[in-house]
């Protein structure tokens, strides 16, 4: 029997940056100084948009559509035209390559911050905008591997952790990086300590407290109106403001925000669905890897967007025969007819409670997509799981996740077709601007031991720096 669960569209974009209680004040000066140094390293290509003409032998456009010998015209940060024979602007920069596809879209990324989890259990008034570190190696890594849109959210060890922020992984400040300034409101059913039933009770208590507070507020407001009508007060207006810690939860209950609920395992799926049904707010479920064991319960969540944890291969051993097999949670969900987004692991995180695998290959979006394909998910569907599907969940389905006229020019330029061993990201183009150029990736060359070529003058001599 299908469980009736209300669903409204996912995260609504916020057109103005939010204001929230400042955090990490002691680190603000140090972060500002480090950002000044970081800003000096940003490539000048992002200062002004160029008109681009991208010629690719192979183009994956999205939703299973491909094109050979594709030409894409980019103007003012948008894709203007796509075809095989287009008239080129005389002053356009031309990029010729083997393959292109939309940049990856990350629907749930608890990284790129100087602090991923709050010490207090209920902090809905906070925002990751106060914690995002633009100079974080996490963002550098994402650019290097073709990620163009990232929903940065708090970690999984707080009851109500505050707001996420959708960013492009490039910029000198969170405001410059922002795509959606106020995105999902993070909840977690995974306890930092104590039992999971206590964690679920804490989530419900936070919501019940907000409801009780609203009733008291409305009662006081009504009493003021009566006193004013009876001449019992000289005050011009009701002066009490809604408490900062309660407002995000009240707005959530009014359908103005979307909750991102981390569900660590199968036993928390039904409580999560009951919370959504009882409090009637829009939500996205972020599923721990073991949730595949309760795939029948997940079928009750149809209409609720799903994001799958980065652990896409689990070793399962039969206790009787001793035989081992590898389970792919994504394949189990796909075979059940569910639609969902996949993610990649955050560098430096480990353990299932944090929502990450210890498998280092899980850091790479292309590996995650290839893992799904290796386990039998069609290639086009697997790519959608890391492009158009998360874009739709974030409310950006008409901007990113596909290559089409009118969409943001967020494009991975590859050295070979995606699943070929020699395929690397040569360029990452974000809104028509080159955010990553592999030939100028100094850190990558240092890690690989390859020396950068020294600039030379007209006579072939090394220039001094």
What domains can be seen in the chain, in order of their start residue?
Answer: 48-101+401-443 (2.30.40.10), 104-400 (3.20.20.140)
pLDDT class of 361 with cuts at 50, 70, 90: confident
pLDDT class of 194 with cuts at 50, 70, 90: confident
Evaluate whether 378 touches 179 at the Cβ level (below 8 Å).
Answer: no
Give the residue-averaged pLDDT of 360-366: 90
Dump pLDDT digits (tens) for 397-442. 999 999 999 999 999 999 999 999 899 999 999 999 999 999 999 8
Dump pLDDT digits (tens) for 9-37. 344 444 333 333 333 333 444 554 455 45
Dump pLDDT digits (tens) for 219-247. 999 999 999 999 999 899 999 999 999 99
Q: What is the mean pLDDT of the chain?
A: 86
Lowest mean pLDDT, pick from 51-60, 163-172, 354-363 = 354-363
Residue 320: its pLDDT value, please?
80
Burial zone of 288 (CB within 10 Å; 0-12 exposed, 13-18 middle, 19+ buried): buried
Residue 6: its pLDDT value, please?
35
Residue 446: its pLDDT value, please?
77
Measured CA to CA, the distance from residue 380 to residue 421 in angstroms comes to 18
Residue 87: its pLDDT value, please?
82
Which residues lie closer than 8 Å to 126 by C-beta, 6 or more apart?
20, 21, 23, 118, 154, 161, 162, 163
């Amino acid at each position: 029997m299908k469980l009736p669960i209300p669903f409204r569209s996912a995260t609504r974009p916020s057109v103005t940056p939010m204001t929230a209680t400042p955090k990490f004040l002691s680190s603000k000066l140090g972060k500002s100084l480090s950002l000044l140094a970081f800003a000096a390293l940003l490539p000048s290509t992002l200062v002004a948009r160029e008109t681009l003409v991208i010629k690719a032998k192979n183009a994956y456009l999205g939703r299973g559509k491909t094109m050979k010998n594709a030409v894409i015209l980019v103007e003012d940060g948008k894709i203007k035209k796509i075809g095989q024979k287009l008239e080129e602007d005389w002053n356009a920069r031309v990029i010729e390559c083997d393959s292109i596809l939309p940049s990856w879209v990350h629907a749930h990324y608890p990284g790129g911050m100087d602090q991923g989890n709050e010490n207090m259990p209920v902090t809905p008034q906070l925002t990751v905008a106060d914690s995002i570190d633009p100079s974080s190696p996490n963002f550098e890594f994402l650019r290097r591997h073709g990620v163009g849109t990232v929903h940065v959210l708090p970690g999984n060890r707080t009851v109500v952790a505050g707001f996420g922020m959708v960013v492009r992984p490039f910029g000198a400040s969170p405001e410059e990086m922002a795509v959606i300034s106020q995105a999902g409101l993070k909840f977690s059913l995974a306890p930092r300590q104590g039992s999971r039933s206590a964690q679920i009770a804490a989530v419900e208590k936070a919501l019940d407290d907000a409801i009780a507070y609203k009733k008291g507020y409305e009662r006081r407001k009504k009493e003021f109106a009566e006193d004013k009508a009876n001449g019992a007060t000289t005050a011009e207006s009701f002066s009490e403001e809604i408490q900062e810690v309660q407002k995000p939860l009240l707005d959530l209950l009014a359908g103005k925000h979307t909750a991102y609920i981390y569900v660590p395992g199968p036993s928390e799926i039904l409580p999560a669905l009951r919370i959504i049904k009882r409090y009637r707010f829009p939500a996205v479920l972020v599923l721990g890897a073991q949730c595949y064991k309760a795939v029948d319960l997940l079928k009750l969540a149809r209409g609720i967007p799903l994001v799958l944890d980065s652990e896409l291969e689990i070793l399962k051993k039969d206790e009787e025969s001793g035989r081992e097999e590898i389970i792919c949670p994504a394949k189990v969900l796909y075979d059940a007819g569910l639609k969902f987004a996949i993610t990649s692991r955050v560098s430096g995180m480990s353990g299932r409670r944090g929502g990450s695998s210890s498998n280092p290959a899980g850091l790479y979006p292309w590996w995650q997509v290839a893992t799904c394909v290796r386990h039998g998910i069609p290639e086009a569907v697997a790519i959608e799981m890391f492009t158009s599907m998360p874009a739709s969940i974030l409310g950006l389905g008409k901007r990113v996740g596909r290559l089409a006229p009118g969409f943001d020019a967020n494009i991975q330029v590859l050295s070979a077709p995606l699943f070929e061993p020699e395929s690397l990201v040569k360029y990452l183009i974000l809104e028509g601007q080159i955010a990553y150029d592999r030939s100028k990736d100094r850190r990558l060359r240092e890690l690989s031991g390859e020396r950068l070529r020294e600039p030379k003058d007209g006579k072939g001599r090394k220039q001094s720096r």
